[in-house]
Structure 1
């Protein structure tokens, strides 16, 4: 497939096999925030949970030196192939978030983690691993907030996208408690997609939607102060 994130945006080839998260509105929102950062040939970028590699490719096209991480071998293979399809050289590392790059620090960390609250106590399985994030939607978000201060260089920046359903204020508080300044820099609203529609009743029971049928997505920007 060929993707573009906005009218007039450059388009490029993106191969996405079954079982790998397809770029969607959240990807485009994070891409907009990415373009507002000062990226040079010396900027080292870490893409946590790269999925298809769409944002890793975008960062590489902007000139950055990119390391893409995912716990899914299929996602890593997809990201590597999409780099080749678009003439970009990126490092790919298999592992669980920042544990895949032990001891390393980066100028910019970008991440679109799973953030959808999900019923059930067990870990997500199959394709749902790309969006289901525990009953509060924070299964990986809390870990990313905790890791951010140690994986960012001085003056380094984190860009993270997630839903209002998974606690924006909680993320801001956790990042600030880790010594970072943090604020919301992007917002958008969109109607519930198939996943949220399928569990709207459960979300209402938990008081997370209160009759709403739309979701607010945000991008949080955090940096060392």
Structure 2
């Protein structure tokens, strides 16, 4: 579905449905990296796991031709509404990662996938952040398939926590034939979800005595 609306306002407006991942520190970190990419009217942008759609809307405001994808129908509806609220045009698709846009390649792909390690399979609202025992349920899929959805001069920006393996993501992208590096990072105290499973995280060796989380944005491009 294509959503079109009135001209964009100067301030981005955002409404988030219950069960949809709201904009947080990782969203802002990824947005900062995205703005450095010089998005123009010639840029085909894909937002994988768009959630609220705020980064897709921002990319559209920068002039990009934007496709946003999410497996959650609530997220799809939220992204469509936020496009309307901000007077932007988005192509919003329902589906599982790039299965929603088969055969297409993009100049810029941004991804803020679920990455929180969890003792149980993701279910309910927790599917917006939980990603299996190592937090890599979707990260590995994105890394492995990146060459198939990037143009030869395309760029992937993916954000996640140190709890699910920064080095592993860099290695996996390299194995897929991409040159990858960290372009942004920040550290913040554990939030409610991580604090609630601190004993389990320590038992898994995912964190020691610390209660802070490092978030990074990794930039990857074809070699």
Structure 2-normalised TM-score?
0.95
Deviations 1:151-189 (A, max 9, x none): 000110000000000011101111111111000000000
Deviations 1:175-224 (A, max 9, x none): 11111100000000000000000000000111111000100000000001
Q: Report what 1:140 is aligned to.
A: 138
CA distance in 2 between partners of 1:31 and 1:39 (Å):
12
Matched, 1:196 2:212: no
| Displacement after TM superposition at 1:147 (Å) | 1.2
Q: Report what 2:217 is aligned to.
A: 219
CA distance in 1 between partners of 2:39 and 2:53 (Å):
18
Greater RCO, 1 or 2 (C-alpha within 8 Å, sep 6+)? 2
CA distance in 1 between partners of 2:77 and 2:129 (Å):
19
Deviations 1:105-141 (A, max 9, x none): 0000000000000002x3x111100100000000000
- Other structure's SS at 1:165 match: helix
| Displacement after TM superposition at 1:11 (Å) | 3.2
Q: Report what 1:175 is aligned to.
A: 173
Q: Report what 1:44 is aligned to.
A: 44
Q: Relative to structure 2, which stretch is displaced further, 210-219 or 12-21?
A: 12-21
Q: Report what 2:80 is aligned to.
A: 80
Q: Report what 1:7 is aligned to.
A: none
Deviations 1:17-66 (A, max 9, x none): 11111100000000000011021101000000000001000100110000
Runs ≥4 in structure 1, deviation > 6 angstroms? none
CA distance in 2 between partners of 1:100 and 1:180 (Å):
23
How many residue pairs match? The answer is 214
- Other structure's SS at 2:87 match: coil
CA distance in 2 between partners of 1:207 and 1:15 (Å):
37
* Unaligned stretches of 5+ residues in structure 1: 1-9
- Other structure's SS at 2:52 match: coil
- Other structure's SS at 2:117 match: coil
Q: Report what 1:152 is aligned to.
A: 150
